[in-house]
Amino acid sequence: MSRELLNARRLLCPLPVIRTQDKVKQLKMGDQLEVVCTDPGVMHDIPAWCRINGHKVLEAISGDGEYTIILEVGE
C-alpha cells in the first residue's frame, strides 16, 4: 500500500476531480491519495466521484483556504 500526494491547488472544479481520477488510475486497490485543493467545491465533488466509482473517503479537512481529501482506492 502506498500513499501519494496530489497538488490540485488553484484548480477549479471539475479539474481537481479530473486530476484525481487520472491519478487514481495509476494506483492500486488499497493505495491512498491525498488531494490538496483551494476550490471549496471539491468537498462535494471528490466525495461524490468516490461514491460513484467505488473509492472511500478517509478524511476531508478544510482550513486556511485549503481543502484536503484523503481517499483510499477501491476496486
Partner 1 sequence: MLAAKTIMEQGVHVEGINFFTGFCVEGHTHAIRANDKAKPKRNNSLWVAEQLGMKLHIVDVIEEYKDVLINPKHGYGAHMNPCLDCKIFMVNKAKQWIVENGFDFIITGEVIGQRPMSQRKATMPIVARESGADDLLLRPLCAKNLPATLPEREGWVDREKLHDFSGRSRKPQMEMAEQFGFDEYAQPAGGCCFLTDASYSSKLVDLWKARDGDKQYDLDDVMLLKVGRHIRPEQNFKLIVAREEGEGRFLQGYKKEFITMNCTTHPGPLVLVDGSPSAEDLYLAARITARYGQGRDAEQVDVNIMSKDGSERTIQVKPFGTEEIPQAWFI
Q: Sign (positive/negative) of CA torsion 10, 3, 62, 16? A: positive
What is the layout of strands, in order, in the sheet containing 32-37?
3-8, 32-37, 66-72, 56-63
- x/- letters, 33..72, toward partner 1 (CB under 8 A): ------xxx-xxx--xx-xxx-----------x-------
* Catalytic option among 11, 13, 43, 57: 13
Report the residue count for the chain. Answer: 75
Is 13 in the active site? yes
Residues acting as catalytic residues: 13
Q: Which residues bind partner 1 (CB under 8 A)?
A: 10, 12-15, 17-18, 21, 39-41, 43-45, 48-49, 51-53, 65
